Amino acid sequence: MSVERPAIEHQTVPSGDGVSAGVGRVVIVGQGYVGLPLAVRAVEVGHTVVGFELDKDRVDRLRRGQSFIDDITDDDLRAALDTGRYLPTDDATELAGFTTAVVCVPTPLRDGAPNLSFIEDAARLLAPHLRRGACVVLESTTYPGTTEEVFGPILDAGSGLRAGVDYQLGYSPERIDPGNPTWGLQNTPKIVSGVDDESGKAVAAFYDTVVDRTVAAPGVREAELAKLLENTFRHVNIALVNELAIYCHELGIDVWSVVDLAASKPFGFMKFTPGPGVGGHCLPIDPSYLSWQVRRALGRTFRFVEIANDVNDNMPGYVVTRIVEHLNRRRRAANGSRVLLVGLTYKRNSGDARQSPATGVARRLVDLGAEVRAVDPRIAVDELPANVELVACTPEVVADSDVVVVLADHDEIDWQLLEQNADRVLDTRNRLTGTGVDRL
C-alpha cells in the first residue's frame, strides 16, 4: 500500500561553526520507546523532525497516526503529523540538511557483550549527510567511551569532518520511564554533554528547546556512566529486596511490611519492592554494559552487578517453585494443571514485554506440562510467550484455574473479580489482600 507522505519544510542549516540556536531540521534515528516521544516533543516546540526508522511496518503505522508505544497516544501522533513538520520515514535521502541529529537505536547484548552494531550503523547512515556546524547526539544507553571511541570516529571517517572542530558531537542519556504519570520527557532533567565546550553548548541548546531543565556534564564519559549508574542502582536495589523476599518467606516474615516500615524513614532509604524479576530494555542489559567495560578495561569484576544479575535472573525460576508448592499442597502435579498468569509485560501499565520475567515463568510452566493461560489487556498478541493462551478475565476462567499468579498489576485488570473468584493466588506484586492470597 502506498502511503502519502506529508511535505516537509526544508529550513536553512546554519552555516559555519558555532551553536545553532532555535528551531531547526532535526533527524531522530530510531522511532521506538525513546525516539518517538522525543520526535513528538521536538515537533511540538517547533522543530521540523525527520523520524528515521528502519522498520517499515513502524513507519507505515506512524504515518497512519497509529502509535505503538504507551506514552504517545494516537492523538499526540496525529497532532504532530498535522503540523506538516513530522516525517516518519525509512528513506535515507530525507536525512540531508539536518541541524541536529539524535540517535535513539537499541543497544542490546550479544553473547553477554555490548552489541554496538545499531549505533555503528546509525553513524554510517548519518555521516554522508553531516554538514559543518551541525550537531549529532547519541542517546542510546552505552558504556563510557562509546561516543568518543566508536560513534564519533565513524562520523568523522564518513563525513571527512572532525568532531568538535567542524561539527558538534555529544551524548545525552534518555531517562524516560514508560508509563510514569509524573515524570515524562519534558519535566525530567536531561543530562547533556559534548566532546568539547562548543559541542556541550550545542547539545544543551537543542535540549533546552525540548525539556524544562538540562544538567551539564563535564564530559561525555561522565554522562554515559551516569546513565549506567542510575540503572545499576535500581537493578542492585531490586535484587536486594528480591533476595530479602526469598529469605522472608522462609522465615515467615512479611517482606512487604518490612519494606514499608523501612520506607517510613524520611532519609537514607529509598523504597524498592520485590517482584518476579526484571525486564524491559534497561535493567536486564545496562548493568552488564558497565561490568563488561570494567572487566575489559581493568580486568576486574564488578561484583554488585554480577550478584544483582544472579538474583534477578533467578526470580522467574523462584516464582515457578512457589507455584509448584501451591499445586503440591493440593496434591497436584504441575503437569496438566491450569495456571492463569495475570500480567505478562515487564511492569504495570506498560505494554512492553521485552525481556519480561513473565516469559521465563510461562516457559518453565509450559515445559513442566502446565496448561498456561494469561490475562493481559496491554500485551500485543505477537509478544505472547509460546503455548500461552490469552483469555478474558471472566469469573469462569479465574475459578477454573488451579492457581492464579499475579505478575504485572495493570490498572485495567478487574482485581475484585480476581479476588472473588480465585481459589489460590500467588501475588508477586502485593496487589491483592484477600484470604487465600500468598504474596511473594
- For the annotated catalytic residues, the residue numbers are 282
Instruction: Pick the closer one to ligand NAD by CB: 118 or 207.
Output: 118
Q: Which residues are CB-contacts of 185 (< 8 A; sequence separation ≥ 6)?
A: 37, 38, 41, 176, 210, 211
282 binds ligand NAD (CB under 6 A): yes
Q: Contact, 168 vs 199, CB < 8 A?
A: yes
Shortest gap between Cβ of 425 and ligand NAD (angstroms)? 29
Sites for ligand NAD among residues 316-355 (CB under 6 A): none
Q: Draw the binding track, 129-168, toward ligand NAD (x: CB under 6 A; -: no contact).
A: -----------xx---------------------------
118 binds ligand NAD (CB under 6 A): yes
Shortest gap between Cβ of 428 and ligand NAD (angstroms)? 21
| Pairing of the two strands 425-427 and 109-110 | unpaired
Instruction: Pick the closer one to ligand NAD by CB: 31 or 99.
Output: 31
76, 174, 224, 427: residue in contact with ligand NAD (rule CB under 6 A): 174
121 binds ligand NAD (CB under 6 A): yes
Shortest gap between Cβ of 39 and ligand NAD (angstroms)? 11
Residue of minimal CB distance from ligand NAD?
32
Q: Could you give the CA distance from residue 124 to residue 154 in angstroms, rounded to a whole number?
A: 6
242 binds ligand NAD (CB under 6 A): no
206 binds ligand NAD (CB under 6 A): no
228 binds ligand NAD (CB under 6 A): no
Q: Draw the binding track, 35-54, toward ligand NAD (x: CB under 6 A; -: no contact).
A: x----------------xxx
34 binds ligand NAD (CB under 6 A): yes
Instruction: Pick the closer one to ligand NAD by CB: 140 or 214.
Output: 140
58 binds ligand NAD (CB under 6 A): yes
Shortest gap between Cβ of 368 and ligand NAD (angstroms)? 32
Instruction: Pick the closer one to ligand NAD by CB: 230 or 400.
Output: 230
Instruction: Pick the closer one to ligand NAD by CB: 291 or 421.
Output: 291
106 binds ligand NAD (CB under 6 A): yes
Shortest gap between Cβ of 47 and ligand NAD (angstroms)? 18
23, 29, 205, 372: residue in contact with ligand NAD (rule CB under 6 A): 29
- Scanning 76-84, 99-107, 163-171, 183-191 for contacts with ligand NAD by CB under 6 A, the matching segment is 99-107
Shortest gap between Cβ of 2 and ligand NAD (angstroms)? 21
Q: Crossing angle of helices 152-159/117-126, nearest 10°?
A: 30
Q: Crossing angle of helices 303-329/220-251, nearest 10°?
A: 30
Instruction: Pick the closer one to ligand NAD by CB: 183 or 269.
Output: 183
107 binds ligand NAD (CB under 6 A): yes
Q: Which residues are CB-contacts of 70 (< 8 A; sequence separation ≥ 6)?
A: 178, 179, 349, 350, 351, 352, 378
421 binds ligand NAD (CB under 6 A): no
Residues that bind ligand NAD (CB under 6 A): 29-35, 52-55, 58, 104-107, 118, 121-122, 125, 140-141, 174, 176, 178, 281-282
